[in-house]
Amino acid sequence: MADVADMANDVAQAALDRNIRAAGAPIAIGAPGECRECGNDSPRLVMGRCAPCREPKKGYARG
């Protein structure tokens, strides 16, 4: 029977495996232009949005 440490190790290993698979995912090419969300010019838009609009950071003020 598995103890708590074995179960925690299984959960951690599953998370690591997911992160490794995600790191191997292809990166969208993107194109330069004006962001459809904030209106700023960006050298790389993905699906019409700049990086800050795609992945806002905590405490980051867009504009």
Report angle CA 55, 9, 26 to the nearest 5 degrees. Answer: 35
Per the domain annotation, does 44 fall within a domain? yes
pTM as predicted: 0.48
Per the domain annotation, does 22 fall within a domain? no
Cα gap 3→44, rounded to integer Å:
49
- pLDDT above 90 for 1: no
pLDDT in tens, 12-59: 999 999 999 989 888 888 999 999 999 999 999 999 999 999 887 765
Per the domain annotation, does 9 fall within a domain? no
Per the domain annotation, does 37 fall within a domain? yes
- What is the domain extent for residue 37? 31-56
